[in-house]
A and B are shown apart, each in its own frame.
Chain A
Amino acid sequence: MDNTTKNSISKLSEVKTETRRQFIGNLSTGLGALALGSMIGCDFSSSSKTSSPESLYKLPNFVPSAKRVIYLHMAGAPSQLELFDYKPQLVKYNGMDCPKELMEGKRFAFLRGIPKLMGPYVTSFKQYGESGAWVSNHMPHVAEMADDICFLKAMHTNEFNHAPAQLFMHTGSPRLGRPSIGSWVTYGLGSENENLPGFIVLASGGKTPDAGKSVWGSGFLPSVYQGVQCRSQGDPVLYVSDPRGMDRPLKGKVIQTINEINNESFEHLNDPEIKTRIDQYEMAFKMQVSVPEAMDISKEPESIRQMYGAEPGESSFANNCLLARRLIEKGVRFVQLFHWGWDSHGIDEQLSLNHGFVKECKSTDKPIAALLQDLKQRGLLEDTLVVWGGEFGRTPMQEVRSDATFLGRDHHLEAFTIWMAGGGAKPGITYGETDDIGYYGVKNKVHVHDFHATMLHLLGFDHEKFTYPYQGRNFRLTDVEGKVVSDVIA
């Protein structure tokens, strides 16, 4: 880094301290703190005295191509073999015994002995767009967007159980207690909109992810950065609505009184924390309006709602996709969607490839395509990174449970498909290949750590420099591994 930039940084940090002094001195406005907050990338937090200077001042290491993220997590792990990873050979091998060596020394959740290979449960697999990406008949709408999508077909992970694998996918560690990607990103880039949390979570499919809220937890990062789950029934954010005994003006008056008295004790005690609390009460008051407003899709024109297939009031993936766009538009940094229902073991109707799986495809295909299309026409896709994927893949072998009429595949960590769109990811390419039956990645394999490194790179962060000091060690999302996959960066 040459001198001028060095200076500029020190200058900017002067600005920081400047603002700090100002807002401590100046009692009339609470915005000083928020301005400072957003500049230093943590709108909501006061500078808790224990937090290190880094945590107060994070900016991208270089110019990011993605400034926002929508992460569509398909909890339960959809089968890549039924969607994107076209394996004509597997059709031939259908019903044959799985080669022994593929089972030896491998760990599966449920498969025992020698299972049989199973051909993909599809009616057709076609190539789409100029890029000629393969997509099955299960996702016709997404197929139409193929030229905007960057498929990673040789993903692999370390975990073959839902909870650890989801944690690994979202925090870079299969154990609990690490910050999620969303927390890292908000910690790094902060939130643009002062009236909304920087990291919002929307769940559908009737169940939160197996690993629970830790998947959007802030781990050892200050709790400010943890994902705020917004709900489609009840309060959109917990405790956001006034008690029945109060209305807005009265609540306003209550907060005003609180702040008057807090100012008084601030004058008396000079404790900066009091100043921050005053700002936070202002923010809370604003959020009570802004969050419900942002979460109200009835404000969208009918045409758009039809495009997504969204129905106000119900808790559906379609609604969440539409919400995701609304929130991104309003400057939310990271929107995390969870959709559960892909764990197609062949146990029952829901968890089978020939029923539940098809249903889930139907309910997600159109909204996803709509989301991409909508972001595109609004000029948002250029700097919004959209990610789609599960926590691992599914085996080319069939898993036979009590009732064989339900087709199923077991968890598989050697190969699965994830795709990205927008945010500087190279559009219309397919990166990585698996072998004839889609068991191993054979070309351009991408490990979860590499994927994280690449995401961070798109967001302007060098995954090796982007760290947080905790318990005497500098922690990173990619732990001690991960390399950026430059071939998928536009």
Chain B
Amino acid sequence: MANWQKFLLVIGVLSSLAIALYFGLMPTEKVDFNTDIRPIVNKNCIACHGGVKQNGGLSFLFREDALSTETESGLQAIIPGDPENSELMKRLVHHDAEIRMPLEKDPLSKDEIELIRKWIKQGAEWQDHWAFIKPVKITPPATTFESYVRNDVDRFILEKLERINLSPSREADKETLLRRVSLDIIGYPLAAEDQNVFLKDTSEDAYEKLVDRLLASPQYGEKWTSLWLDLARYADSKGYEKDMKRSMWPYRDWIIRSLNDDMPYDQFITEQLAGDLLPTPSPKQIIATAFHRNTMSNDEGGTNDEEFRTASIIDRVNTTFDVFQGITMGCAQCHSHPYEPIRHQEYYRFMSYFNNTVDADLPSDFPLYSDLYTPENSDHADSIIRYVEQLTGEKYFRKTDNTFVKRRKFLLPLLEAEDSDDYNYGVQNSTGINWTEDGLYKDGLTYVLYKNIPIHDYNSVTIRYRSATGKSIIECRLDSVNGLSIGEVTLRFTNGKFANVQMPLKSVEGSHHVYFVLSNDLNDHHNQGPADFDWFRLNHKNEKSINPPLLVLQEELRKIPRLKMPVQKELPKSLQRSNFVFVRGNFLTKGEAVEPGIPGIYKIQHNSAAENRLGVAEWLTSKDNPLTARVAVNRIWEQLFGYGLVETLEDFGSQGSKPSHAELLDWLAVKFMVDYNWSTKKLIKEIVCSATYRQSSTTSPEALSKDFRNVYLSHFTRTRLTAEQIRDQALAVSGLMTTKMYGPPVMPYQPEGIWQVVYSGDEWKTSSGEDQHRRSVYTHWRRTSPYPSSLSFDAMSREVCATRRIRTNTPLQALVLLNDTVYVESAIALAQKVNSSVKLPAEKITLAYKTALGKMPTAKTLHSLVNLYNESLLFYKNNPTRIAAMTSGDTKTPEVAALSAVSNAILNLDDFLTKP
């Protein structure tokens, strides 16, 4: 090349040198790890030097790892204060592309390298990811839009808006507000008369009063339960191949009630995670623990129960973190978390808390809470008990007894297997208790326990059982598994049929805990356990001790079918499982043993906490937990505004999106914990009363250009309603919806042949009467074939915890709304409704529109609708045969049919499907 070119080059080199020097000598301000360094590291380094891979023995997840001298090269990547000798710096700028980092990628930019250099010079201080730093109380910022502020929430929003020179939108009109806030709080628009209360109310706080009314109405609980059912992966079936039914609905009802009672969020968490471990848990609290029994269980023939039990436990760990911490723990299952500072072992330490529940993926879903009657049965059962109480006074029951104890005392001397206080290795099912094969290979501690039995009254016991193996011995021991033995009998092979056997008892004094201990000398492997038990009948020293009428009642009470729902139950200390790391997440290859513990990233000392699920709950609900409140607040914000302050609801970690309004998030979180003492209703009220929430949703071109996705909330974001809202709304505005609450799931109309069930009699029997028009939250949810119309509106199959629904917009949705019987019915009902109340077609159409959308149609809209009406009218006049299908009741006129067609259109309008 020519000399003058080289000359230019040299000059260039010199001058850039000069510039570099100049900047190098500038006064340096502190480099912030989270804002400056972490992004660079996560983008360029973590993939190879993180939780999954530690190439060259180096990882940047933890400071100690990054500073370690244990690297393969023995060179220290980062020497705090000494960038020049830090291998990292050398590698970043190395001229040989094969040595320079990041490998096979473009080198980092000068500025990035400079940042890192400075940061190392300044001591390479690590900083926890913002989400792991506990939120502190902040004072809301000042803003120039003072006049606009309604409460502190607005200050945070406005302050940001100012920064990008956008101004907030004016308040939406009353109708819009009414529709918006009703959809948000109770899930569908109020009835006309309730609407007028607000629309006519001109007082200052009319809106606040409306909000209070809505929050007070029982429909609030129903609306917000849908959200929790997604999180709790609630379903009315077990999942996997057979996907049998199971009754979880009492748990669903528990949520509705808790939400309506505005149960404090910390208590809400505690009861679901560890209600059973609370001192003297109430039935309600036991039912709450079904939260983690919503995990699927696999009844497929020949499955390895332990494999799927483990799968459930893992699911519980992941779900706990997804729901309450917004951290995706799943990654740490196979290796240290690739992005978050959570180690592989820590995952299994945490899992240990959950690993000691009794459930074991058994077909019976054991352990079950069995003191439940279906609504229709419960009265009957109660009446019998009450009758007996009157009949016998104190003879049977003490005041303190709960129905469970009462029931058993009353049934004495008959001890039903399913009424036992405790048992081990047992499988409780419809036929009583049968023992799992493995029980007999362990320690022979296979027993069923009945507490405080007045055994002295009895001299023998009749056992109803069946056995596929025989050769088993059953003993009656007192007060402990190896306590005094007062009777023994051998069980014979019964060829699958139930049989009775008598066991004489030595006479003893007083009441005792009675253990029926089973043991045998089988040593070859069988598919079935050695015995199933139906009941044990204690035979009284002198017969006819019980008066006949009671016997009759006993028989009657026994016959009343009870409902059994899966709940969590802790294993007795003696039988607790030891915990290991699973190598690469495989439950078959167990690694080192681990003790229960919270991941270290949470700098929480909670030595007080028990080493069980209760401990987890304490930790989650501790005010020091940096995430619980933030995640909860963010989720509620997302429900109201369509997008969370942290858009990735499921991930607050370093890979998740940054909060759009970090200060607001923290401020709300603190308020929620401290000021509101975990009251969700108070929180919701605060937010929906803000000026920000009340903004109109009209978008200015300026807003679109500056902030297309409306992150800064310069106006309200319209969002498509959820599957539940859409259906409920249609039923509500057409007047079909019933307000009946609670109870077993219902089966509204669904197209033929959705369910293909081979293993059980389960089938979709369309419910009759009002049950056809219950709110969607009560719809029967079968995991392998969920309610199809909801599914097309992005409802989750609820096989695993779903932290966020993506809103899609597909033609299948159009097909549902246009053709699904539910919506056609609604259209007809709406037509019928308006038809009777006004005269002129135009009026009817206007009224239909107003009923559906809570506002008057524009002239243009009305015009289009009237056109449609006229054309349809013509059509039905020419095709009278079609009328019947578009009308109901006795008014089968072409007019009503035409009106139905119009309503059908109205129920498909974008405005109708969208929160205004």
A-side residues, CB < 8 A to B, are 44-46, 48-51, 107-110, 112-113, 161-164, 175-177, 203, 206-208, 210-214, 217, 222-224, 228, 231, 233-235, 237-247, 249-251, 253-255, 257-258, 260-262, 264-266, 268-271, 273-274, 276-277, 280-281, 283-284, 287-288, 411, 471-473, 480
Q: Is the CB of A274 within 8 A of B819?
A: no
B886 CB–A CB distance under 8 Å: yes
Q: A379–B620 Cα gap in the complex (Å)? A: 62
A233 to B754 CA separation, bound complex (whole angstroms): 11
Tell me if B909 and A228 are in contact (CB < 8 A).
no
Chain A nearest CB, measured from B39 CB (Å): 14
Which among B240, B302, B797, B908 is the interface contact of A110 at CB below 8 angstroms? B302
Contact between B815 and A244 (Cβ–Cβ < 8 Å)?
Answer: no
List the A side residues contacting B331 at CB < 8 Å.
473
Distance from A354 Cβ to chain B, minimum over Cβ atoms (Å):
21
Can you spell out 5 A-B residue pairs with CB atoms less than 8 angstroms apart?
Answer: A208-B785, A260-B864, A261-B865, A284-B814, A471-B648
Chain B, residue nearest A232 (CB): B753
Which of B's residues lie within 8 Å of A, judged by CB? 52, 239-241, 243, 296, 298, 300-304, 311, 328, 330-331, 338-339, 524-525, 527, 643, 647-648, 650-651, 653-656, 697-699, 701, 704, 709, 718, 720, 751-754, 756, 758, 783-785, 788-789, 791-792, 794, 797, 799-800, 804, 806-816, 818-821, 824, 858, 860-861, 864-865, 867-868, 871-872, 875, 879, 882-886, 897, 900-901, 904-905, 908-911, 913-914
Question: Which 8 residue pairs of A and B lie closest in terms of their CB atoms, listed nearest first?
Answer: A212-B784, A109-B302, A472-B655, A245-B886, A245-B885, A284-B814, A46-B809, A244-B885
A459 to chain B, nearest CB (A): 23
Contacting residues, chain A, for B814 (C-beta < 8 A): 255, 277, 280-281, 283-284
- Between A48, A50, A270, A472, the greatest number of chain B beta carbons within 10 A of the residue's beta carbon is seen for A472
Picked from B302, B328, B809, B815, the residue with its CB within 8 Å of the CB of A277 is B809
Q: Which one of A51, A161, A237, A258 lies within 8 Å of B302 (CB-CB)?
A: A161
Assess the B720–A234 pair: CB atoms within 8 A: no
Within 8 Å by CB of B751, from A212, A235, A268, lies: A235
Of the candidates B654, B788, B818, the one whose C-beta lies within 8 Å of that of A284 is B818
Contact, CB under 8 Å: A210 / B301: no
Complex CA distance for A274 and B719, rounded to whole angstroms: 10
Distance A235 CA – B651 CA, assembled complex (angstroms): 40
For the complex, what is the distance from the CA of A258 to the CA of B904, rounded to whole Å? Answer: 10
A163 adjacent to B302 (CB under 8 Å): no
A258 and B905 contact, CB distance less than 8 A = yes
Inter-chain contact A214/B797, CB cutoff 8 Å: yes
Is the CB–CB distance between A253 and B872 below 8 Å? yes
Whether A250 pairs with B656 at a CB distance below 8 angstroms is no
In this complex, the member of B783, B858, B909 whose beta carbon has the largest number of chain A beta carbons within 10 angstroms is B909
A264–B858 contact, CB under 8 A? yes
Which chain B residues lie closer than 8 Å to A164 at the CB level? 298
Determine if A211 and B240 form an interchain contact, defined as CB atoms under 8 angstroms apart: yes
Which residue of chain A is the closest to B810 with respect to CB atoms? A44
Please give me the residue from chain A that is nearest to B300 by CB atom. Answer: A161
**12 more CB-based (< 8 A) A-B contacts, given A108-B302, A240-B819, A283-B811:** A110-B301, A161-B300, A164-B298, A176-B239, A177-B800, A210-B240, A239-B751, A239-B815, A250-B871, A273-B910, A280-B811, A471-B651
With a CB–CB cut-off of 8 A, which chain A residues contact B824?
243, 245
Chain B CB within 10 A, most for which of A44, A49, A161, A261? A261
Q: Within the assembled complex, what's the spacing in Å between the Cα atoms of A173 and B338?
A: 20
CB–CB B905/A51 < 8 A: no
Contacts of A265 in B (CB 8 A): 909-911
Pair B300/A284 contact, Cβ less than 8 Å: no
Q: Is the CB of A251 within 8 A of B647?
A: no
**In the complex, which residues of chain A have a beta carbon less than 8 angstroms from the beta carbon of B756?**
203, 206-208
Task: Choose among A51, A163, A240, A257 the residue that contacts B241 (Cβ–Cβ < 8 A).
Answer: A163
Contact A264 B861 (CB under 8 A): yes
Q: Do B910 and A254 have beta carbons less than 8 Å apart?
A: no
A253–B867 Cα gap in the complex (Å)?
9
**The one of B300, B656, B701, B809 that contacts A280, using a Cβ cutoff of 8 Å:** B809
From A223, A251, A471, A480, contact of B818 by CB (8 A): A251
Is chain B's binding surface mostly helix, strand, loop or mixed?
loop
A177 contacts B799, C-beta separation under 8 Å: yes
Contacts of B300 in A (CB 8 A): 161-163, 210
Given contacts A245-B900, A270-B704, is CB(A258)–CB(B751) below 8 Å? no
Contact A243 to B243, CB < 8 A, known contacts A45-B810, A213-B785, A253-B871: no
Decide if A107 touches B304 in the complex (CB within 8 Å).
yes
Docked complex Cα distance between A283 and B815 (Å):
10
CA distance A281 to B815 in the complex (A): 8
Contact B819 A242 (CB under 8 A): yes
For the complex formed, measure the closest distance between the CB of A319 and the CB atoms of chain B, giving whole angstroms. 16
User: How distant is A351 from chain B, measured CB to nearest CB, in Å?
Assistant: 11
Known A241-B819, A247-B882; contact A223-B792, beta-carbon cutoff 8 A: yes
CB neighbours of A175 from chain B (8 A)? 311, 800
CB-defined contacts of B900 to chain A, threshold 8 Å: 245
B328's contact among A49, A210, A260, A472, by CB below 8 Å, is which? Answer: A472
Q: Contact between B883 and A245 (Cβ–Cβ < 8 Å)?
A: yes
Give the residue name and chain of the A residue nearest to B302 (CB): A109
**Which residues of A sit under 8 angstroms from B720, Cβ to Cβ?**
273
Q: With A161-B300, A239-B816, A247-B882 in contact, do A112 and B525 touch (Cβ < 8 Å)?
A: yes
Chain B proximity of A219: nearest CB distance (Å): 10
A163 / chain B contacts, CB cutoff of 8 Å: 240-241, 298, 300
The answer for the CA separation of A409 and B553 in the assembled complex, in Å, is 52
The contact of B298 among A113, A161, A223, by CB within 8 Å, is A161
Q: Which residues of B contact A280 (CB under 8 A)?
A: 809-811, 813-814
Report the minimum CB–CB distance from A230 to chain B (whole Å): 12
Decide: A250 near B875, CB < 8 A? Known: A214-B784, A243-B886, A472-B651.
yes
Which one of B783, B810, B867 has the greatest number of beta carbons of chain A within 10 Å? B810
Q: Bound complex: CA of A143 vs CA of B635, how far in Å?
A: 58
Enumerate chain A residues within 8 angstroms of B819, measured Cβ to Cβ. Answer: 239-243
Most buried by A among B240, B524, B913: B240
Q: Is B799 within 8 A of A176, CB to CB?
A: yes
Which chain B residue lies CB-closest to A105? B588
Q: Tell whether, in the assembled complex, residue B301 and residue A207 are in contact, meaning their CB atoms are under 8 Å apart.
A: no
B871-A261 in contact (CB<8A): no
How near does chain B come to A215, taking the closest CB pair, in angstroms? 10
Indicate which residue in A48, A268, A288 contacts B808 across the interface (CB closer than 8 Å).
A48
Known: A261-B861, A284-B814. A239 touches B789 (CB 8 A): yes
Cα–Cα, bound, A175→B303 (Å): 14
**In the assembly, what is the distance between CA of A163 and CA of B799, in Å?**
13
- Indicate which residue in A48, A107, A212, A242 contacts B807 across the interface (CB closer than 8 Å): A48
Compute how far the CA of A214 lies from the CA of B786 in the bound complex, rounded to whole angstroms. 11
A223–B784 touching, CB < 8 Å = no
Tell me if A246 and B697 are in contact (CB < 8 A). Answer: no
Question: Chain A's nearest CB lies how many Å from the CB of B893?
Answer: 13
Chain A hits for B910, CB < 8 A: 261-262, 265-266, 273-274, 277
| A24, closest chain B residue (CB) | B704
Interface centre among A113, A251, A258 (most CB of B within 10 A): A258
Q: How far is the CB of A108 from chain B (nearest CB, A)?
A: 8
Contact between A254 and B784, CB atoms less than 8 A apart: no
By beta carbon, the residue of chain B nearest A208 is B756
Which chain B residues lie closer than 8 Å to A480 at the CB level?
52
* Chain B minimum-CB-distance residue to A251: B818
A269 touches B699 (CB 8 A): yes
Contacts of A222 in B (CB 8 A): 806, 808
Q: How many Å from the CB of A264 to the closest CB on chain B?
A: 5
Complex CA gap A212/B758 in Å reads 12
A234, B753: Cβ atoms closer than 8 Å:
yes
Question: Given A228-B812, A233-B753, are A223 and B868 also a contact pair (CB < 8 Å)?
Answer: no
In the complex the two chains form, what is the Cα distance from A113 to B650 in whole Å? 47
> Which residues from chain A contact B886 at a C-beta distance below 8 Å?
243, 245-246
Tell me, in angstroms, the Cα distance from A245 to B821 when the chains sit together: 11
Find the B residue at minimum CB distance from A250.
Answer: B875
Cβ contact within 8 Å between A214 and B704: no
